[in-house]
Amino acid sequence: MKSQRLLVRLRSLTTPLAVLLGVAALVWLIAETLGPHPLPAGATAPPTRAALALQRAGAAQVRVEGAAGTGVGIVLDASGDVLAGAWAVGDAPTATVQWADRTRRAGRVRGVDVRTGLALIEVADARPRSGTLDAVEPLQPGQPVYALGARGTPHARSGSVRDARAGLPHSPAVPVVVTGIRVCPEDAGGVLADAAGRVVGVLLARPHCAPALALPLSAAHHLAAELKSSGRAKRGWIGLVAEDAPGGAIVVRTTPGSPAAQAGVRAGDQVRNLDGAPMPRAAELASRIAESPPGHDAALTVLRDGQSLGITVIVAEEPPL
C-alpha cells in the first residue's frame, strides 16, 4: 500500500518536471539558433547601418592643404567646386585637394566668404565619389545627424538637429542648421550628414568647440555660385531686424537710411508675406531677402495696427562686416 502511494506521488511529480525540462530545452534551442555566435577565425562582422552611412557621407569630404594649414572641404559637384574652411586656405591663390583614395589635385581659390568662413576652390575633375549630394527633404528638429569634421569618418560625432531654420548669430541673413554636436574651428568645411549618409550641410567654424552650425546644402550651392561668378558673396539687404512671433516675424528695428526705413517699414510691423510667400520665422525672412538680387523690388505684406499693408522695398547689397 505504501509502495503504491509512493508510486502515485512520483508520477504526480514527474509530469510537471518533464514539462519544465521540455520548456528549458526549447529555450536553449531558440537561444542557440538566434543568439550571437563567435565569428570564424579571420572573419569580420558586417558593417552597421551607421558605419555604412558614414562611409557614404565621407566620400564627399576631402582634405585641403592650404597656405595656412590643413583643413577639410566638400565636393559639391562634377564641375570642380569644393567648399572648404577658409582658415586653411589663407590668402593664397591655390590649394591642394586630396581624396580618401590618396588622389590629389591642385585647385584654384575662386573666392572667400568672411561671414561663413568658407572658401571656394575650383578643381578639375573633382566629382564626388558617391551620390551623397542628392536632394533631401528639409531637416526637422530632433532628426539624427553626423558631423565628420577634420578627423574624418572614424571620429565622426553624432547628435540631432536643434533648429533647422536658424540664422547665423553675427549675420542672421545666412541660414544655418543648429545641432547639438560640438565642433572645433578646424572642422569648418566638413560634412554634416543625415542618418542615411546623405550630405545635408557644410560645417561652419565655431569657437571653443561650440555646438555645430552648418550651412544647408541648398545655401552652399548658392554661395558657391556667387563666389565663382564674382569672388565674393553678394547678399540682398533691406536693413531690418526681426524676431519670431505667432503669425509672422515682428520687425524690431530698421537701420536709419536703409531701404526698409525709406520704404516706410516700422518697428512693430508683422511681416506676413514676402513676394507672396508666407514668412513664419525671422530667419526665413532674412534668408529670403539675402537670396534676392540687389535692385529687386521686394513686395512685403505687413500687419500694422490690425490692418494689412503692402510695402515695396528695393533690395540693396549687404554692407561689408
Render pLDDT for 8-51 as a digit per residue (tens, 0 to 9).
Answer: 444 554 555 454 555 555 545 444 444 444 544 444 444 577 77
Phi then psi for residue 312, to 5 deg, are -100, 125
Q: What is the CATH number of domain 236-317?
A: 2.30.42.10
| Residues of each domain in the chain carrying CATH 2.40.10.120 | 46-230
Domain(s) of CATH 2.30.42.10: residues in the chain: 236-317
Interstrand relation of 61-65 and 70-75 (parallel, antiparallel or unpaired): antiparallel
Looking at the predicted structure, is the pLDDT value of residue 151 above 50? Answer: yes
Long-range contacts of 50-56 (CB under 8 A, 24+ apart): 50/146, 50/158, 50/195, 52/197, 53/146, 53/193, 53/194, 53/195, 53/196, 53/197, 54/146, 54/148, 54/153, 54/156, 54/193, 54/197, 55/153, 55/197, 56/130, 56/132, 56/193, 56/196, 56/197, 56/198
Tally of residues, the chain: 321
E strands, the chain, where? 61-65, 70-75, 81-85, 94-98, 104-113, 118-123, 144-147, 157-168, 171-182, 191-194, 199-203, 211-216, 236-237, 240-243, 249-254, 270-274, 277-278, 297-304, 307-314, 316-317
Q: Of 90, 84, 147, 154, nearest to 121 (Cα)?
A: 84
Q: What's this model's pTM, rounded to 2 decimal places?
A: 0.78
Task: Report d(CA 203, CA 191) in Å as an integer.
Answer: 6
Task: Supply the pLDDT for residue 25.
Answer: 54
The confidence band for 127, taking pLDDT boundaries of 50, 70 and 90, is low
- For domain 46-230, the CATH class is mainly beta
Q: Predicted confidence band at 128 (pLDDT cuts at 50, 70, 90)? A: low
Chain segment 46-82, per-residue pLDDT in tens: 457 777 878 888 888 999 999 999 999 999 887 778 9
pLDDT digits (tens, 9 = 90+) for 276-317: 999 988 988 998 999 899 999 999 999 999 999 999 999 999
CA nearest neighbour of 283 among 172, 119, 183, 154: 172
Question: Mean pLDDT across the stretch 171-187?
Answer: 91
- Give the dihedral of Cα atoms 170, 178, 206, 233; nearest 10 deg: -50
Please give the residue that has the higher pLDDT: either 101 or 48.
101
Q: Is the pLDDT of residue 210 over 90?
A: no
CA distance 15 to 58: 62
Percent of the chain with pLDDT strictly greater than 90: 57
Q: Which amino acid is present at 302?
A: V
Cβ(117)–Cβ(204) below 8 Å: yes
C-alpha cell at 133: 549630394
Percent of the residues in the chain that have a pLDDT greater than 70, as a whole number: 82
From CA 38, how far away is CA 61, in angstroms rounded? Answer: 35
